[in-house]
Amino acid sequence: MELCSTIVIKGVSQDAIRLRLFPFSLLGKAKQWFYASKAAVDNWDKCAKAFLAKFFSTGKTNALRGRILNFQQASNESIPEAWERLQVYILACPHYGMDNWLIPHNFYNGLTQSSCDHVDAAAGGAFFSLTIKRATTLIEKMVSNQGWSDDRLQPRQRGMHSVKGTDMLAMKIDLPLKKFEDYSQDKAQMQTLQAFETRMTCEICGNVGHSGDNCPKTQEEVLYLNGNNNGFRP
């Protein structure tokens, strides 16, 4: 139908163009039906009604219309995703027969509370205070704006925090880096201590490289005293 609106032939109506091009959009049984019923559907209005009666039963039409009327945003669905899903329902039932104002009205009523708050904020107060055209334009603008597709439009459960895969990866990388940094700091401190000891002068023997507590002469004296007291009894 979109293609038909782009074709203008002098002296030929749009309905005649639609009827002429319609069979090119059909496949299988639908195409067979059209050519078998071509004599009965000699104008666009008859063709449209006959086609819908044949391939869209009352039960099927009511079911498709019900999906539009009872639309509900999913818990893990953003506002743009919800709007696009509603448009799929509408395309599946082009003869839904509802007033235009019902589409944005039912969409808003089917949103979660947090999403309704976002839409009201974008509307500058109350979404229902807008006209049908402005309300529809606002939603379509939110859908086309990539900024509205991020996490702030994702409904969140109270007490729950979502962790992105990238955050989990960063946590996994940060942990070994933290261990490596701690190890590097400990190693640097040990090297500093060793460097300090190598420049230390012993106050007992006068040699460089150890303190009096670690002096070999002091250790020899301790061993000597311990050896002489092995048989001591008080």
Q: In this predicted model, what pLDDT tens digit does every residue of 118-169 receive, in sequence order?
A: 999 999 889 999 998 999 999 999 888 755 454 444 544 444 444 445 555 5
Round to whole Å and give the CA distance between 155 and 162. Answer: 11
Length of the chain: 234
pLDDT of 72 higher than 90: yes
Quote the pLDDT of residue 61. Answer: 80
Q: Could you tell me the two tokens for 11?
A: 């002296």
Round to whole Å and give the CA distance between 225 and 141. Answer: 93
Round to whole Å and give the CA distance between 18 and 22. Answer: 6
The pTM assigned to this predicted structure is: 0.51
Round to whole Å and give the CA distance between 157 and 191. Answer: 52
Closest Cα to residue 153, out of 165, 133, 167, 139?
139
User: How confident is residue 117, by pLDDT bands cut at 50, 70 and 90?
Assistant: very high
Quote the pLDDT of residue 134. Answer: 92
Higher-scoring residue by pLDDT: 217, 58: 58
**What is the DSSP code (8-state) at residue 204?**
T
pLDDT of 114 higher than 60: yes
**Cβ neighbours around 72 below 10 Å, total:** 13
User: How confident is residue 231, by pLDDT bands cut at 50, 70 and 90?
Assistant: very low
Would you give the distance in Å from CA 31 to the centre of its chain? 41
Quote the pLDDT of residue 1. Answer: 58
